[in-house]
């Protein structure tokens, strides 16, 4: 019966130290049966024919394989995005960056936006939907690009498969109103200290070089000419990066620099305006 399967799954997850074993057990049942969490209560005594498959998924999760990859999709700002091995899982923290961008774009008519290191497309898709922006999304990795393409079906987002340090020259100068990126920003020697789940995520989406700041420098240097005067550059930030990134943006002539905090109190996003 469903309720017995639930208890088995929950116990496997709890024994492995998963933080919310009951919730995750129900999300696994939901993905395997299509039964919402509410429906599961009503069907507690129903026989499930997929218990074996569910137990295998729970064992996989017990080895810290990310829940989001098992489910195959994850919600970002109310938008359901396909995810799987090879693409960074969209995080709640990134909503802070999207909010900063939305605040900036509310006064811009028909904004042109580029999302660099787009991954699943989370940021670009949110800005396309919520700010009616015309968005270009740039992603280098084959596997991430595959998810990006699936996620932008039924949008007018333009995907570009390429390296952000190379493809900048395919645009006119002063073309974009906003350049936004959640680049890889973890210091190379801190990669091994992250939660075990992160070990299953692509290193190319995480590794920001020796000081974690390589992509901020490269993007600012190479993409600033493509930004309109009065346009904005916005980044997600790792811990302790607000000051060096703000200083670097100032050196490139940016002003009106604003940062925003995530729920944990870390300065998680920054936006700065290119002078007119």
Q: Point out which residues bind ligand GLN (CB under 6 A).
A: 91, 93, 182-186, 194, 198, 206, 236
How far lies 174's CA from each of 105, 178, 226, 276, in Å?
Answer: 16, 10, 4, 11
Nearest distance from C-beta of residue 24 to ligand GLN, angstroms: 19
- Specify the 3-state DSSP secondary structure of 166: coil
Cβ proximity to ligand GLN, 83 vs 206, nearer residue: 206
For 103-116, letters b (16+ CB in 10 Å) and e give: ebbeebeebbbbbb
Cβ proximity to ligand GLN, 214 vs 226, nearer residue: 214
For 169, list phi and psi in degrees, rounded to 5.
-80, 5
Nearest distance from C-beta of residue 154 to ligand GLN, angstroms: 26
Separation CA 64–CA 276 (nearest Å): 49
Separation CA 267–CA 260 (nearest Å): 6
Closest residue to ligand GLN in the complex (CB): 185
Cβ proximity to ligand GLN, 90 vs 231, nearer residue: 90
Cβ proximity to ligand GLN, 56 vs 203, nearer residue: 203
Nearest distance from C-beta of residue 93 to ligand GLN, angstroms: 6
Nearest distance from C-beta of residue 201 to ligand GLN, angstroms: 7
Cβ proximity to ligand GLN, 41 vs 194, nearer residue: 194
Please give the structure tokens belonging to residue 218.
Answer: 């490269």
Bridging pattern class, strands 112-116 and 79-82:
unpaired
Please give the structure tokens belonging to residue 69.
Answer: 């990859």
Nearest distance from C-beta of residue 47 to ligand GLN, angstroms: 40
Separation CA 28–CA 37 (nearest Å): 10
**CB-count burial class (<10 Å; 0-12, 13-18, 19+) for 206:** buried
139, 31, 138, 147: which is closest to 86 by C-alpha? 147
Nearest distance from C-beta of residue 196 to ligand GLN, angstroms: 12
Cβ proximity to ligand GLN, 54 vs 148, nearer residue: 148
């Amino acid at each position: 019966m469903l309720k017995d399967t639930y208890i088995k799954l929950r116990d496997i997850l709890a024994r492995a130290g998963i933080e919310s074993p009951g919730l995750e057990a129900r999300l696994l049942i939901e993905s395997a049966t299509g039964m919402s969490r509410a429906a599961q209560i009503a069907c507690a005594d129903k026989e499930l024919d997929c218990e074996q498959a569910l137990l295998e998924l729970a064992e996989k999760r017990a080895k810290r394989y990310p829940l989001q990859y098992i489910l195959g999709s994850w919600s970002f700002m109310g938008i359901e995005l396909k995810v799987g091995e090879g693409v960074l899982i969209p995080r709640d923290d990134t909503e802070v960056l999207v909010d900063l961008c939305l605040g900036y774009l509310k006064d811009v008519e028909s904004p042109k936006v580029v999302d660099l290191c787009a991954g699943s497309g989370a940021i670009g898709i949110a800005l396309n939907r919520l700010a009616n922006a015309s968005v270009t999304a740039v992603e280098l990795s084959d596997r991430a690009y595959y998810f990006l393409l699936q996620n932008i079906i039924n949008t007018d987002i333009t995907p570009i498969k390429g390296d952000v340090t190379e493809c900048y020259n395919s645009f006119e100068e002063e073309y974009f109103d906003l350049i936004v990126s959640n680049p890889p920003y973890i210091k190379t020697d801190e990669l091994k200290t992250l939660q075990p789940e992160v070990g299953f995520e692509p290193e190319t989406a995480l590794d920001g070089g020796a000081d974690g700041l390589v992509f901020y420098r490269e993007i600012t240097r190479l993409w600033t000419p493509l930004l309109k005067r009065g346009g904005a550059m916005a980044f997600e930030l790792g811990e302790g990066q607000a000051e060096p990134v703000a200083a670097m943006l100032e050196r490139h002539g940016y002003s009106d620099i604003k940062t925003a905090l995530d729920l944990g109190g870390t300065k998680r996003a920054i936006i700065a305006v290119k002078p007119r």
